[in-house]
Structure formats: C-alpha cells, structure tokens
A and B are shown apart, each in its own frame.
Chain A
C-alpha cells in the first residue's frame, strides 16, 4: 500500500464516519444528534452562523474563485 492509497483511505474513512454518525443519529436512543442538530447548536447565535457560513463561503472561493 503506497502513501497515495493511505491518504485516500483516510479520506474514505472520514466520509464513512460521517455517514455512520448520521445513520446512528436516526436511532431515538442514540446520543449522537443529526449533523443538522449539531450545526444548529453552533448556528443558534449570529457569531456562530457567520463563522459556519464563512467556512462555506471559503469553500466556494477556494475551489472556484480568484
């Protein structure tokens, strides 16, 4: 296994963890909230909303803009 495959595997593992957390959150007895709920806690205040949206803006700028 070379470093390229290891790096890709790491990203794949992170993506799998996101899906696993989200599916687990569907169980009413789970302590893991859905991602929207977790984000909602951060975005309950203006500063939190601006911070999260700034990260979203940066994504757009980083991949597309000058």
Chain B
C-alpha cells in the first residue's frame, strides 16, 4: 500500500513537470518495498532506540532548547532565500537527509504497543488522508493543464504561492515543515492513551 501510494504520487508529480521530485518518490518506493520484503522475511537489520528514557529531564530540556533555537535560525535564514534556487534546495535536502537518516536508524525511543480497539479508529485517519488526497487530485484534474494553476480549482500549491511569496511566509512554512518532521519522528515514541476502567488494553504504561 505504501509503495503504491509513493509510486502514484511520483507519477502525478512527474506529469506535473516535476520529474526530479517524482524520481525521489519512486526511489523512496523502491527502498520501502525492499525493506518491507526484508521485514516480512525476518531479515531486516535490527533497530535500536536512538534515545534512552533516562535521557529525559535536564539533558532533554537542553537538547530541546537547542533544537528549537536551531529550527528558528534555520527558518529565518533559509526563509530569506527565494524558492526554487540552489541554496534553498541545498538547505532543504540537508534537513531531509538528516531526517531520513534518523528515521532509518530507528525509533527515537522504544515504541509502545497500541490497544487492539484502536485499529478501527486508525482506519478513520487513513480514510481522511485518502479523502484529502482525492480532493487535491480532483482540483489538479480541473486545472487548464497540469503545469498551470486554476483560480476556480486551486490546489494546495496554488493556495500556498501567495503565502510563500514573502520572507515571513516562507519562514513560517519552513518552521511548520521542521515541526512536522519532528512530530513524525516523535510519533514512534507515543505513549498509550489513558484508558477508561471499562476498556482493556494491551499497552504498557512505561512512559507514564
């Protein structure tokens, strides 16, 4: 499923005259497909949490502070550069590689198990993601051409063009992108929700 989504996304990006980005997505699809095969065959290389839980406390506050300041400095500095230029591309690629390398290495801390009852709810999130993708695809299909935006049927890219035209807009968007990356990396460390006494759970309460 993940491979199919990545291949399709790469295809639509490619036919929108972004073959380089399409290539990135297809490369990711190849890597994900290969790794998934390794995992199903039980041959995947072992993972280790990058952080110990004992890292919580003063040390993590300092690390968190450094990360926040670095993110702000990155957003303000790189946000002053124009889009679709080599310096901006280099900065984005640098952060992207760091994020991917961190994610490849392993989860930030030991993941927790999710209660079985939440599997149905998780599918609602998947459905929402699919709906968002289809709505975007619908807008894309109504454009005069795949490379020309439409006021009547704006895609998210078209809507963001006015926001990203200014330094402040680009800085805020970069900050949001960095925050999203951190959120995704931290998602592998999520603690189980507190369950009401009437519900059974399989998750441990270690992170509480």
A36 touches B2 (CB 8 A): no
Q: Which residues of A contact B193 (CB under 8 A)?
A: 25, 28, 33-34, 37
Closest-CB distance, A42 to chain B (whole angstroms): 8
Q: Which residues of A contact B199 (CB under 8 A)?
A: 28-29
How many of B's residues come within 8 Å of A, CB to CB?
83
B153 touches A3 (CB 8 A): yes
Closest-CB distance, B152 to chain A (whole angstroms): 4
Closest-CB distance, B23 to chain A (whole angstroms): 11
B99 touches A53 (CB 8 A): yes
A4 touches B111 (CB 8 A): no
Kindly supply a per-residue 1/0 record for chain B positions 178-189, scoring 1 wherever the CB is within 8 Å of any chain A CB and 0 otherwise: 001101111111
> Could you tell me the distance between the alpha carbons of A4 and B44 in the complex, rounded to whole angstroms?
48
Interface assignment of A18: CB less than 8 Å from any CB of chain B: yes
Closest-CB distance, A51 to chain B (whole angstroms): 4
Query: Nearest 10 A-B pairs (CB), nearest first?
Result: A54-B28, A32-B121, A51-B2, A65-B89, A39-B187, A47-B35, A3-B152, A47-B36, A57-B96, A33-B118
Sample 16 A-B pairs with CB under 8 A, ordered by A number.
A11-B159, A14-B128, A33-B121, A37-B114, A40-B187, A41-B114, A41-B122, A46-B35, A46-B103, A50-B100, A56-B184, A57-B96, A64-B92, A65-B93, A66-B20, A66-B85
